Amino acid sequence: MNAKTNDKSTKGKISNIRTSKTQKIFRQNILSFIFMTVVFVGAVGFGVGLILSEIRYPHADSFFECPTGYRIFMYVALGVSNGGLIGCAFTKNARNTTPLECKIWLAVFIIGFLYEAAFGFAGDTSFANGLSICIGAAVSAVGFFCGVGSLIGSLKKPRRTYGQIYGELFASTMEYRSLPRGATLLQIMRTEAYFGTMLPGELVDFLLEFNGDGELMFSAEEMIEKTEKARKTRKNAANEDAFKLCFIGTDGSGNYYCYKISDGFVEEGEIYLWHSETDTTVPAAATLAELITQHYTHPKTPNTHSENSNN
């Protein structure tokens, strides 16, 4: 029996290593940044090509009258931009696309377009006017391609598992809408650094949606604060294993819900309620969704069977 339990625990730890939510999101953010950089480089290349066309080939009546090398350069620039946009479609989402980013590229596009239109309607056929038109077109091209890349992310909607749970629980009052915004990836990574282990995927998903709920669940900062406070008050406790807990919420009576930390890894598949007075833990829920649901629908003390934290 012990062998099976150890084998299950080992598999859980290996799975935890391979499926770290924060690592996955961090890699996605890096890829998103790389593809947006590719879009930017391609758009700038295309814009530079437009300016060069006026400087080096002012007498060409159409694009196809320009030298082959120039046309290849323009095709490559367009290909790079479009390739970056395809990459953005796979990596960018509402989590790593900020509203400010979309607004900046929209502003760049509008400024470039208005600049181009102003000189275009001037009716001047001079070299300087033609160059100004190309500069405006180049700026608007950068704003357009990068704006599309950002728009791809802003239109995507991340899964809101816990938002749906709270929505169903408080459908009558719509109370869930006032919950805090999700934690940033940096806040979650700081919390993981404090505990010295990766947080369970379900907890990371929750924190990305809501940074605590003001009643049951702690925010990323509160997890550190409550755990640190509990560890200080129990510094001389005889039960050393009592320190190996990751507090995630409270029952409102001074007792904390937690995951256990064993051999440097959070044990997933069970959430416990730690009793502060007796320094003991009892199973509370198998999943975070179950804990939230049972707390807000029929709050009650979990199993009467008590289990000491060093077991």
Look at the pTM and tell me if it is higher than 0.75.
Answer: no
Cα dihedral 142/148/149/151 (nearest 10): 140
Domain boundaries, the chain: 2-155, 162-308
Structure token pair of residue 193? 């650094």
Give the tens place of pLDDT for each residue, 99-158: 888 999 999 999 999 998 998 888 777 888 888 888 999 899 999 999 999 998 888 876
**Token reading at 47:** 């814009």
User: Who contacts 42 (Cβ-Cβ below 8 Å, separation ≥6)?
Assistant: 77, 78, 79, 80, 81, 82, 83, 84, 145
Dihedrals φ, ψ of 245, to 5°? -130, 145
Q: Which residues contact 23 (CB under 8 A, 6 or more apart)?
A: 198
How does pLDDT run across 174-204, given as a tens digit for each residue?
A: 555 577 888 888 899 899 888 888 888 889 8
- Tell me the per-residue pLDDT of 60-104, one tens digit each, with 9 for 90 and over: 777 778 888 888 999 999 999 999 999 988 888 877 787 888 999
DSSP reduced 3-state for 174: coil
Cα(310)–Cα(307) distance, integer angstroms: 8
Identify the CATH number of the domain defined by range 162-308.
3.40.1580.10
